[in-house]
Amino acid sequence: MNYANVPYYHGSISRQEALDALANKKNGSFLLRKSLTTNDAYAISVICDGRVLHYSIQYCEGSDYYSLDQQSTFPSPSEVCEYYMKEQGSLKTKLLHPIPFDESGSGSSGSGQEFPQANYLISQSRSHEQQEWFHGNITREEDAARLAAAYNECRQDGIYLVRQKDASTFVLCVVFEGQPRRHKITYDRDKQRYFIVGRSKNFESIEKLVNYYRNPNPDGLVCRLVTPCDRKGATKPLPRMGSSPTVNQQQEKSPIQKTVRSLSIGFSNFCVSLATPLKTLMPKNILDMTWSDCQDDAAKPTSINVLASSKYQDSEPIIRSVLSRYRPTSLAKECIGYLSPYRNITVSNNDGIAPDMYVKRKEIKIGRQIGHGHFGTVNLGVCKILGSATPCAIKTLTGSDVLKNKGEILHEAAVMQKLDHPYIVRLLGVCDNSVVSNDLMIVLEFAPLGDMLSFVRTHDLNSFPCDRLITLMTQICDGMAYLASKNVVHRDLAARNILLVSENFAKISDFGMSRILHESKNYYQAAHPGLWPIRWYPPEVFSDYKFSSKGDVWGFGVSMWEVFSYGKKPYDNMRGCDVLMMIHTGKRLASPIGCRKDVYQVMMKCWSEKPESRPGFAELLPMMQKLS
């Protein structure tokens, strides 16, 4: 924020100081101040009917926007004030009379005098601007992209840069364990010293701060600063999706122009008018929750790497015999589950289960439990398929769970029975004893290494390099291309729903949300929102409730991001509404540290705003194959 153009900004003052500055002022008099308790937060203090009211302006993390009511957003706190100087909005009174700041710390008479820059802004050293590690006023996404490019060259921790947020706030960004870590640097105008928030040491300049943390065993940082990220060698920020930069776009616009432009391209249509009905229709508070609050994985089976688990060594002989047939390092074509287990299965053309898919209880041997989820337990087992003992995973519902969830389980089975592809978990059979013993079993192909998300979290670039991840994600793309050819929309593609038969063989699973499209339509339209994994969903889902294969392409891009970040959480600690805002304003997840540029470019193609601008899976597959 350019403080020289904001005469009513009073800096970091307390509520009491704000009361003193506004004492004996007329109704509508106001000032802007920085919060003393919350980082990146500001407050408007305004007189209304003789009382001073305080309104908090919050920073939307990850979107570089500020908001007072969590709906209307602006690029800076000053533009929040400018808006409420014209519109009363949700405030008790319109902001009418700005109270300028003077160096004594009290409000002046408001005569409209030019705002004098505070001495600390004039006196602070600007020599850091000449350093190669200083990258100026770039965004959080840009610093991640530049660090990723530098990390790809030398593959070491300690790569760093400094960027500027406003006149007195900087951010030190350093790579540690392959991920960007950020430390906020603040300037204390009273002591005229720089310090990292939460650290006791302070310095005369940013240069001295950086030089200190280049020493071994730095006090309080995650690691030592080793190699500066050079501005000249940094990658350029990618343009907004769906448009190429023109001369007019490259010219700097004023904050007001940017806000007006956002409104003109559909901000109100997408973020304001959309957010309100979504909040009423979707499960309570889901748009206000952060990733950590939204238990996206809560209803998923707990995956276990069976081959790596010693507790299965004492399983009964038939189970041990089954497990001995798996090798963690086998290639896909060498594994059980690559070739189709089916022989002349007559698949039903309606929504029911084909008679050939039903198996008798005596043909199933159940072993140890390997997971549990929303629909009961998952057990390791053996099922007799066409006379041979086939290893399998068995989903079992018992008791009241059968009555509540039988319809959804059979719907998933009805979709899966029509799919026969090596990179998709196949349905092996259905055992319905709900009439006799009140239990229902779904027999599926077995993936002993568990889910992809858990697997990559145990690895890094050294133990499981990029080329091996590309092989697995190319298989998933191949499986998704098959689904698209069968007019099936998955609707829940994510790393947690990709299972591993071996380290070189992946399968798409969890078809509980899938839909088979009618030939007359290339999309499925939901009647109303549900408990959706919104971080994997494209914009058209929230504007029109439409799901298509091109929507699955978006989810494939997010799944790639999860895998190539080795299990990091997309949009970490962001609320659902902030995710929607970030996507609508053209911003995307930053490239994972260490991710190749060509791999990230494929992700960006998946995240084109309009479905027709995204490649289909048939187009995406050769792109993935070229990455190998």
Q: What is the pLDDT of residues 300-325, one digit of tens each?
A: 444 566 666 545 554 567 667 777 77
Asked if pLDDT for residue 179 goes beyond 80, the answer is no
The mean pLDDT value for 468-490 works out to 94
Higher pLDDT, 514 or 443: 443
Higher pLDDT, 620 or 546: 620
Give the pLDDT score at 38: 66
Would strands 169-176 and 51-60 be described as parallel, antiparallel, or unpaired?
A: unpaired
Give the pLDDT score at 580: 84
Structure tokens belonging to residue 213: 């943390």
Asked if pLDDT for residue 147 goes beyond 60, the answer is yes
User: How do residues 345-404 score in pLDDT, each as one tens digit?
Assistant: 555 555 578 888 888 888 888 888 887 665 678 888 888 877 778 889 998 886 666 666
Asked if pLDDT for residue 334 goes beyond 50, the answer is yes
Higher pLDDT, 92 or 237: 92
Q: Which runs of consecutive H residues, i.e. helices, occur in 99-218? A: 119-123, 140-154, 206-212
How many CB atoms within 10 Å of residue 19? 14
Determine whether 492 is an active site residue.
yes
User: How do residues 181-221 score in pLDDT, each as one tens digit?
Assistant: 888 999 887 788 888 887 778 888 888 888 888 877 767 78
Residues of the chain with pLDDT > 70, as a percent, come to 74
- The separation between the first and the last C-alpha atoms of the chain, rounded to the nearest angstrom, is 45
Give the pLDDT score at 269: 41
Give the pLDDT score at 399: 63
Higher pLDDT, 603 or 125: 603
Give the pLDDT score at 287: 52
With beta carbons less than 8 A apart as the criterion, state whether 541 and 551 touch. Answer: yes
Asked if pLDDT for residue 106 goes beyond 60, the answer is no
Distance separating alpha carbons of residues 444 and 378, to the nearest angstrom: 10
Q: What DSSP designation does 259 have?
A: H
Give the pLDDT score at 104: 39
Domains of the chain: 3-117 (3.30.505.10), 127-228 (3.30.505.10), 306-444 (3.30.200.20), 452-627 (1.10.510.10)
Give the pLDDT score at 616: 95
Q: Give kind and range of the element (H or E) at residue 59.
A: strand 51-60
Give the pLDDT score at 613: 94
Burial of 462 (0-12, 13-18, 19+ CB in 10 A): exposed
Angle at 327 between CA 425 and CA 567, to 5 degrees: 60
Confidence of residue 520 (pLDDT cuts 50, 70, 90): low
The mean pLDDT value for 27-42 works out to 82
Higher pLDDT, 434 or 459: 459
Asked if pLDDT for residue 121 goes beyond 60, the answer is no
Secondary structure E strands in 155-281: 159-166, 169-176, 179-188, 193-196, 202-203, 227-228
Query: Which of 508, 516, 521 is CA-nearest to residue 486?
Result: 516
Asked if pLDDT for residue 173 goes beyond 80, the answer is yes
φ, ψ for residue 569, nearest 5 deg: -90, 125
Asked if pLDDT for residue 563 goes beyond 90, the answer is yes
The mean pLDDT value for 269-292 works out to 46
Asked if pLDDT for residue 559 goes beyond 90, the answer is yes
Distance separating alpha carbons of residues 507 and 499, to the nearest angstrom: 5
Asked if pLDDT for residue 236 goes beyond 70, the answer is no
Residues of the chain with pLDDT > 90, as a percent, come to 25
Confidence of residue 297 (pLDDT cuts 50, 70, 90): very low
Distance separating alpha carbons of residues 291 and 366, to the nearest angstrom: 36
Summary mean pLDDT of the chain: 77
The mean pLDDT value for 18-38 works out to 86
Give the pLDDT score at 615: 95
Confidence of residue 242 (pLDDT cuts 50, 70, 90): very low
With beta carbons less than 8 A apart as the criterion, state whether 441 and 592 touch. Answer: no
Please report, for residues 19, 361, 426, 428, 461, the alpha-carbon distance to residue 386 in angstroms, rounded to integers and kept in the order given.
82, 15, 15, 11, 42
Among 143, 451, 492, 552, the active-site one is: 492
Least confident of 35-49, 121-135, 533-547, 563-577: 121-135
